[in-house]
């Protein structure tokens, strides 16, 4: 019940920004918070060593901190160790009550304790606490990726002067994304008006419907955890894979359970080679796209996942004529309709919750995955699809 309340708080407060400290003066005065955004910071004072110690000050919600850390331990190889007495001469995550929620990117102090400032919001929202810890581990926001211009427009003229660096695009040598795709469902994706000085957009998606997903603070996405594992757990992933395991469909070797893959939403099986669906209520899991348009309809309370596939060398054009599902903001995975049209099937697909009609999507490759989560008799989707050749 307690964490249900916290989940509601996180939903009501989506797009809440976590501050990034750029210098010691940020802690001293709290007057300037410049953000330094990358995928995983390559230049850090020292690499974190695990199990990583942590210390929680009085006034900081221990349950929220420990639930956030538990999520990391569940989904990555990272381990954390609670200490009773604070030491400033060893690597320690120091959770401290502060007037803003903020921290430094990556390991800023080397072999010393590093402050994670916790305000009233982060003190109650597990997702926001994960966001804070993620920054400390070196993770940063989506809109500063080197490939961001393919996915979003950034409007610097609307950004608060103290937050300009937060929207800077970094080069490939400054950040490492391990060939993981852009993810609008990432906890590190800003909302469309985040840090705006005038109420206008600071970042907006090239495909406008993605705006309803941006800014979620519920928790890490599949690709958020994957990025952490690729950065910190590569050796354990290689041992898990051995010589035979081949993860498909953007899955990756499980660093904490040998011989199996971690699969993105919609896929299952030891190597993520099967589609996860309710086979009793759903007709098929694969449809072949041809040059002539075909129609597909689903209605009612059911969970159906399927792939629309074009011949190699061609792509899929999808038209959603109508979609009616439960309305949610932000629209999250497993809520309504999700369409994975980008090549990286680990990236959160376009999620739509509510009533939508007449929108088009093209696939990056020859496959589109559609995940329908109907929660009532009135829920439905009607779509048309065809293959096409794109040079």
Backbone angles phi, psi at 220, to 5 degrees: -65, 145
Cβ pair 126, 219 in contact under 8 A = yes
By three-state DSSP, how is residue 360 classified? strand
Cβ pair 275, 345 in contact under 8 A = no
Q: pLDDT digits over 31-74, tens only? A: 333 333 346 655 566 899 999 999 999 999 999 999 999 999 99
Q: Which is more confident, 356 or 1?
A: 356
Q: pLDDT digits over 139-153, tens only? A: 878 998 999 999 999
Min mean pLDDT across 4-18, 102-116, 270-284, 290-304 is at: 4-18
Residue 197 DSSP class: S
Backbone conformation region of residue 277, classed left if phi is above 0, alpha if psi is from -120 to 50, else beta = beta
Q: Over 70: is that where the pLDDT of 281 sits?
A: yes
Mean pLDDT over 80-100 rounds to 95
DSSP H helices in 45-170: 62-75, 126-136
Q: Over 80: is that where the pLDDT of 278 sits?
A: yes
- Whether 286-388 and 1-232 are alike in CATH topology: the answer is no
Nearest to 77, CA basis, from 341, 218, 253, 272: 253
Cβ pair 152, 214 in contact under 8 A = no
User: Which among 104-108, 164-168, 256-260 has the top mean pLDDT?
Assistant: 256-260
Q: How far apart are the first and last CA of the chain?
A: 53
- Going from N- to C-terminal start, the domains of the chain cover 1-232, 233-275, 286-388
Cβ pair 315, 366 in contact under 8 A = yes
Q: Over 90: is that where the pLDDT of 19 sits?
A: no
Q: Over 80: is that where the pLDDT of 7 sits?
A: no
Cβ-in-10-Å burial (0-12, 13-18, 19+) of 285 comes to middle
Q: Over 80: is that where the pLDDT of 236 sits?
A: yes
* CATH 2.10.25.10 corresponds to the domain 233-275: yes
Q: Over 50: is that where the pLDDT of 132 sits?
A: yes
- pTM attached to this predicted model: 0.92
Cβ pair 122, 95 in contact under 8 A = no
Min mean pLDDT across 22-31, 153-162, 192-201, 244-253 is at: 22-31
Specify which residues 116 forms β-bridges with: 95, 103
By three-state DSSP, how is residue 127 classified? helix
Q: pLDDT digits over 138-188, tens only? A: 987 899 899 999 999 999 999 998 787 778 787 888 878 999 999 999 999
State which fold the 286-388 domain adopts: Jelly Rolls (2.60.120)
By three-state DSSP, how is residue 159 classified? strand
Per-residue pLDDT, 43: 58
State the CATH architecture for 1-232. 3-Layer(aba) Sandwich (3.40)
CA distances from 142 to 71, 266, 319 (A): 21, 23, 27
Q: Over 60: is that where the pLDDT of 207 sits?
A: yes
């Amino acid at each position: 019940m307690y964490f249900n309340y916290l989940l509601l708080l996180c939903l009501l407060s989506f797009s809440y920004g976590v501050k990034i400290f750029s210098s010691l003066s940020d802690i001293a005065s709290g007057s300037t918070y410049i953000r330094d955004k990358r995928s995983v910071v390559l230049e850090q004072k020292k690499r974190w060593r695990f199990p990583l110690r942590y210390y929680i000050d009085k006034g900081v919600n221990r349950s929220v901190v420990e639930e956030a850390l538990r999520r990391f331990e569940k989904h990555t190889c990272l381990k954390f160790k609670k200490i009773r007495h604070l030491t400033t001469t060893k690597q320690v995550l120091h959770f401290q009550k502060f007037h803003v929620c903020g921290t430094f990117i990556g390991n800023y102090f080397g072999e010393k304790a590093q402050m994670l400032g916790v305000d009233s919001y982060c003190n109650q929202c597990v997702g926001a606490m994960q966001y804070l810890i993620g920054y400390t581990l070196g993770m940063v926001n989506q809109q500063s990726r080197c490939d961001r211009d393919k996915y979003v427009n950034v409007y610097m003229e609307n950004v608060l002067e103290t937050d300009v660096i937060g929207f800077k695009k970094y080069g490939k040598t400054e950040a490492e994304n391990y060939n993981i795709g852009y993810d609008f469902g990432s906890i590190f994706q800003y909302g469309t008006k985040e840090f705006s000085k005038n109420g206008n957009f600071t970042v907006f998606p090239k495909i406008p419907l993605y705006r309803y997903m941006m800014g979620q603070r519920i928790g890490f996405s599949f690709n958020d955890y994957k990025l952490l594992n690729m950065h910190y757990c590569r050796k354990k992933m290689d041992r898990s894979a051995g010589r035979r395991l081949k993860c498909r469909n953007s899955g990756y070797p499980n660093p904490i359970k040998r011989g199996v893959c971690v699969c993105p939403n919609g896929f299952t099986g030891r190597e993520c080679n099967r589609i996860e669906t309710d086979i009793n209520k759903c007709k098929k899991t694969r449809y072949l796209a041809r040059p002539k348009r075909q129609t597909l309809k689903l209605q009612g309370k059911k969970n159906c996942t399927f792939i629309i596939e074009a011949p190699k060398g061609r792509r899929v054009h999808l038209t959603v004529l109508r979609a009616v599902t439960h309305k949610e903001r932000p629209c999250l995975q497993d809520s309504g309709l999700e369409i994975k049209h980008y090549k990286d099937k680990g990236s959160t697909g376009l999620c739509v919750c509510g009533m939508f009609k007449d929108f088009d999507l093209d696939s990056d490759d020859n496959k589109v995955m559609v995940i329908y989560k109907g929660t009532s008799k009135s829920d439905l989707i009607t779509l048309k699809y065809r293959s096409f050749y794109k040079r």
